[in-house]
């Protein structure tokens, strides 16, 4: 059975605030927990008005506290900004508090523009080195307590959350990330919503995969941009907000997620077709039967048994509804139980 998960970028609707966007994240996580989603990942983005999630390590604790079943993690921590030891300590604390529920998704991208990347640097005398593979190996050595005997950092692997530890994932959208994940025996999450041509990259990961103590076979999940609504027209209307925001991003203008009517006027003035995906990106948008078929096909293309869904709308209730429709369509166990419970309550209270 195909599993579904959530990637939440904490979108900020125009006319609202970042604080409300963060509260919306907590609300959506609780809904996903009740509906039967597998995991809930929060993203890292810096320096713009559209997304309110620069610190996944800060959000994970509150989300895990407010939920019961979900695995909770980062989608992902942008490792080049940080010390591997500090990341290992942060996620060890989370694992110590929440046990096996914590995922540590790791990425190489900056998650922002060059100026903000520079501002994030502690030492600004020179450009930060491009040493992601070395950072990744060091981080895994802390998590696995696997430094060679006599290594300078070996004693630092006594992390505070032992014996619990997070599950590391490598996130990517390029051939190189697949190679690193395969060589290190890591599970791999491919961002199809960034690069929709990744099925061959995922296949290369599986072909190159090297057995590790943490994973005995390749494991792939695919992250997709998805928006479902009660009918096709409504879904396409709602998607206009994201399409406008993305088009503005392409022009170097960062904006909060615009309301639907404003976005429709903007796209009409641009001459955009109403149901066109952002250039170079895949968007699965529509009524739920169409969306389910496309999500299933995407999973088959990537040989993935799990799809991580990212959805951005101006209206938080529309985003909630999209995840509800997906849970019902894919018959997630908790969603089915919720539906049965609601039907039973209605039958009991209805006049005979």
Phi-psi region of 176 (alpha: psi -120 to 50; beta: other; left: phi over 0): alpha
User: Which DSSP state fits 217?
Assistant: S
Phi-psi region of 269 (alpha: psi -120 to 50; beta: other; left: phi over 0): alpha
Q: Residue 189: what are its φ and ψ, rounded to 5°?
A: -115, 120
Residue 194, Cβ density class (10 Å: 0-12 exposed, 13-18 middle, ≥19 buried): middle
Q: Angle, to 10 degrees, between the axis of helix 316-329 and the axis of helix 288-302? A: 70
Local structure of 66: helix, strand or coil: helix
Tell me which CATH homologous superfamily contains domain 3-228+282-344.
Answer: Luciferase-like domain (3.20.20.30)
CA 291 from chain centre, in angstroms, equals 19
Q: Residue 178: what are its φ and ψ, rounded to 5°?
A: -65, -40
Sorted by where each begins, the domain ranges of the chain are 3-228+282-344
* Per-residue pLDDT in tens (0 to 9) along the chain, 352 residues: 899 999 999 999 999 999 999 999 999 999 999 999 999 999 999 988 999 999 999 999 999 999 999 999 999 999 999 999 999 999 999 999 999 999 999 999 877 888 888 888 888 888 888 899 999 999 999 999 999 988 999 999 999 999 999 999 999 999 999 999 999 999 999 999 999 989 999 999 999 999 998 899 999 999 999 999 999 999 999 999 999 999 999 898 989 999 999 999 999 999 887 666 666 789 999 999 999 999 999 999 999 999 999 999 999 999 999 999 999 999 998 765 655 454 444 444 444 3
Local structure of 143: helix, strand or coil: helix
């Amino acid at each position: 059975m195909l599993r579904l998960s959530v990637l939440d970028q904490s979108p900020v609707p125009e006319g609202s605030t970042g604080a409300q966007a963060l509260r919306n994240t907590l609300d959506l996580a609780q809904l996903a927990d009740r509906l039967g989603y597998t995991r809930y990942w929060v993203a890292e983005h810096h320096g713009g008005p559209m997304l309110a999630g620069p610190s996944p390590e800060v959000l994970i604790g509150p989300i895990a506290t407010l939920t019961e079943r979900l695995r909770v993690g980062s989608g992902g921590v942008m490792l080049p900004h940080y010390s591997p030891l500090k990341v290992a300590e942060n996620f060890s604390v989370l694992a110590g508090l929440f046990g096996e529920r914590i995922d540590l998704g790791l990425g190489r991208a900056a998650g922002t523009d060059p100026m903000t990347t520079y501002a994030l640097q502690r030492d600004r005398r020179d450009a930060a080195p491009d040493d992601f593979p070395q950072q990744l190996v060091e981080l895994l050595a802390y998590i696995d307590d696997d430094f060679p005997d006599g290594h300078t950092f070996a004693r630092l692997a006594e992390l505070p959350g032992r014996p619990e530890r997070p599950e590391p994932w490598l996130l990517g959208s390029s051939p190189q990330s697949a190679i690193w994940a395969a060589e290190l025996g890591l599970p791999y999450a491919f961002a199809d919503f960034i690069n929709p041509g990744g099925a061959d990259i995922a296949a290369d990961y599986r072909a190159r995969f090297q057995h590790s103590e943490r994973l005995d076979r390749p494991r792939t999940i695919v992250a997709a941009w998805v928006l479902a609504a009660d009918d096709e027209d409504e879904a396409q209307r709602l998607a206009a907000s994201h399409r406008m925001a993305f088009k503005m991003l392409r022009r170097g203008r960062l904006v909060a997620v615009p309301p639907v009517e404003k976005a429709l006027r903007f796209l009409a003035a641009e001459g955009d077709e109403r149901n066109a995906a952002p250039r170079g990106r895949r968007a699965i948008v529509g009524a739920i039967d169409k969306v389910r078929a496309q999500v299933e096909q995407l999973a088959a293309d990537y040989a993935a048994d799990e799809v991580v869904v990212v959805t951005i709308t101006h209206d938080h209730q529309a985003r909630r509804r999209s995840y509800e429709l997906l849970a019902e369509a894919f018959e997630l166990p908790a969603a089915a139980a919720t539906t049965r419970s609601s039907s039973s309550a209605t039958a009991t209270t209805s006049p005979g």
